[in-house]
Amino acid sequence: MSVMSNPAYGEVLSEGKAKTLYITDDPQRLILHFRDDTTAFDGAKRASLSGKGTLNNRFNAFIMRHLEQAGVPTHFERLLNNQDSLVHRLDMLAVEFVVRNIAAGSLCKRLGFESGLELRPPLQELFLKDDERGDPLIYDQHAIRLGLATQEQLHRGAELALRVNELLMPLMADAGMLLVDYKLEFGMDDGGELLLGDEFTPDGCRLWDTKSRESLDKDRFRQGLGGVVESYRIAAKRLGVEGVVAEE
Ligand code: TMP
Ligand code: ASP
């Protein structure tokens, strides 16, 4: 398949809570479809938020390109249309790499950290990707003994997750936002390299307005604050994400 030709949509490979992966006529490429579906608390709270799929697809493309240009290997290839992107097929590790710059969310609930406390150097955590078990916090040793990842993969994932932080903290700061925390997922490509997969959108990170500390991310949905898509749009516009203004 030539790089520029449009891939043929094949069968659904997997359906997550907010995205669907389709196979294509190229065994090494998948179509990542961003739906409007939104969930929280491991799927216990659900809604469909009109426009979210398009915003997240564009937001993700913007961030992935930024990371790729700075040397972080990602699965992203190109935008196909409003809600779809072409990505490289990966064999995903069933763990989630979380990086925290400011205490929020489960860190406060689980361990009593004061919300808003600055964490320097950033705090890194590993979670098991398993909704039925409530995505528990795990040690590297658990992931290794469960056969989910090797020590080398976990080390490389953690290294890349920190590099992402070094790149995105200033990007967000320049756009008047604090990158509070985020979750990344990695997978192996056919050449045995670990690449950043999944997505980077306001669904999987916390972004606060620098001055007001107002949430511009999925916490608005989790906490029932309203204005979810509107907040994602504000964050995208501040970053200069292409195509967002025109779609309003
Ligand atoms: P937490 O405070 O709930 O542990 O979440 C930390 C960050 O990781 C937050 O930005 C949300 C993101 N995250 C997900 O996107 N999906 C998940 O399943 C988990 C556990 C966290
Ligand atoms: N992503 C998870 C869910 O949709 C956890 C969360 O974001 O709260 O349920």
Q: Kindly state whether residues 29 and 117 are assigned to the same domain.
A: no
pLDDT at 6: 84
Q: Kindly state whether residues 111 and 174 are assigned to the same domain.
A: yes
Q: What single DSSP character describes residue 245?
A: G
Q: Kindly state whether residues 136 and 174 are assigned to the same domain.
A: yes
Give the end of a domain, one of 90, 121, 153.
90
Overall domain count for the chain: 2
pLDDT at 244 > cutoff 50: yes
pLDDT at 4: 65
* For range 35-55, the mean pLDDT: 96
pLDDT at 226 > cutoff 70: yes
Atom of ligand 1 nearest to the CA of 98: 8
What whole-number percentage of the chain has pLDDT above 90? 94
C-alpha distance from residue 227 to each of 51, 117, 160, 168, 201 (Å):
12, 25, 32, 24, 16
Q: Kindly state whether residues 115 and 212 are assigned to the same domain.
A: yes
Q: Which of 109, 181, 216, 219 to mutate to test the pocket of ligand 1 (most atoms within 8 A of CB)?
A: 181
Q: Is residue 161 part of a domain?
A: yes
Q: What is the CATH number of the domain that holds 82?
A: 3.30.200.20
Q: Kindly state whether residues 150 and 209 are assigned to the same domain.
A: yes
Question: What lines the ligand 2 site, CB under 6 Å?
Answer: 17, 39-43, 218, 222
Question: Alpha-carbon distance 188 to 235, whole Å?
Answer: 30
Give the end of a domain, one of 46, 67, 90.
90
Could you tell me which residues come within 8 angstroms of residue 26 by beta carbon, excluding any fewer than 6 positions away? 1, 7
Q: Kindly state whether residues 211 and 168 are assigned to the same domain.
A: yes
Question: Which residue type occupies 83?
Answer: Q
Q: Which of 19, 39, 98 to mutate to test the pocket of ligand 1 (most atoms within 8 A of CB)?
A: 98
Q: What is the CATH number of the domain that holds 100?
A: 3.30.470.20
Residue 246 binned pLDDT confidence (cut-offs 50, 70, 90):
very low
Give 65-89 pLDDT, tens digit per residue: 999 999 999 999 999 999 999 999 9
By CB atoms closer than 10 A (0-12, 13-18, 19+), residue 170 is exposed
Helix axes 228-239, 52-69, angle to 10 degrees: 30
Residue 1 binned pLDDT confidence (cut-offs 50, 70, 90):
very low
Q: Is residue 247 part of a domain?
A: no
pLDDT at 245: 62
* For range 103-122, the mean pLDDT: 98
Q: Kindly state whether residues 196 and 99 are assigned to the same domain.
A: yes
Question: Which residue type occupies 150?
Answer: T
131 CB near ligand 1 (under 6 Å): no
Q: Is residue 237 part of a domain?
A: no
Domain containing 42: what range?
Answer: 12-90
Give 118-147 pLDDT, tens digit per residue: 999 999 999 999 999 999 999 999 999 999
